[in-house]
Amino acid sequence: MPAKLIVGLGNPGPNYENTKHNLGFWVINELLLKLQLDRLAPSCRSLIVRTEWHGSEVIFAKPMTYMNNSGQAVSMLVQKFDIFPHNLCVVYDDLNLDVGVLRMRKAGSDGGHNGMKSIIHHLGTQEFPRLRVGIGKTGGVWMDYVLSEFSPVEREDIDWAIPCAVDAIETFVTDGVQTAMNRFNGCSPPRNDS
């Protein structure tokens, strides 16, 4: 069975560790915790771990290229592990969704996200699944916003969303992107429910 590649986007280094833009890293960290995997190894300008999960070979990766060059690492991983586009899932933060809201898609544009812009450029396609986790909009400078930390109230919503994102990724691995979309699109923290 072909391998699946799950990539969480973020920026390496302690200065960025707790910022909104590192939400993809947080989801990968939670997945590794769930699977009791803690030995990430350097490969293809990323930190990766390979495992078997639900009968599939799965590679979890955190690119170490900084966000704007994520595509360099992802394209190297795709080539090295012979990943089909439909078996790649990229997890990242999204300004266009309310804090903690999940949205899985089969394909699409970069939506203004520089990490996704780089990945689409380097892969030469936007036809691959992605899981977006909302970080909310700001009226200020977006770069300052994405590189800031969550407020305590926002962090409650994110702490709710991360396990849901893990469940969405697990569903993607076991049942495919369409089932993950059906189950998790529109999921939002309890405080956002109408």
Each residue of 112-145: pLDDT tens digit?
999 999 999 999 999 999 999 999 987 667 788 9
Place of tokens 């590192």: 22
Q: For residue 91, what are the contacts with CB-CB under 8 A and spacing of at least 6?
A: 6, 7, 8, 9, 23, 24, 27, 28, 130, 131, 133, 165, 169
Q: Name residue 21's beta-bridge partners.
A: none
As a whole-number percent, the residues of the chain with pLDDT over 90 amount to 90
* Strand order across the 130-134 sheet: 41-43, 46-53, 56-63, 4-8, 88-94, 130-134, 102-105
The pLDDT tens digits of the residues spanning 181-192 come to: 999 998 889 865
- The predicted pLDDT at position 66 comes to 95
Residue 100 sits at the vertex; the CA angle it makes with 38 and 62, to the nearest 5 degrees, is 30
Mean pLDDT of 62-90: 98
Reference 171, options 134, 129, 111, 135; nearest CA is: 129
| Number of domains into which the chain is organized | 1
CATH label of the domain that carries residue 153: 3.40.50.1470
Confidence (pLDDT) at 143: 84
What pLDDT score was predicted for residue 191?
67
Q: Which range marks the domain in which residue 43 is found?
A: 4-192
* Of 63, 186, 79, 178, nearest in space to 116 by CA: 63
Q: Which two tokens stand for residue 3?
A: 């391998």
Share of the chain above pLDDT 70, in %: 97
Residue 182: per-residue pLDDT: 97
Distance separating alpha carbons of residues 9 and 70, to the nearest angstrom: 7
Q: Dihedral, CA atoms, 79, 53, 36, 51, nearest 10 degrees?
A: -30
Residue 5 near residue 81, CB atoms below 8 Å: yes
The total of other beta-carbon atoms located within 10 Å of residue 119's CB is 29
pLDDT value at position 149?
A: 95
Catalytically annotated residues: 21
The Cβ of residue 164 has, within 10 Å, a number of other Cβ atoms equal to: 19
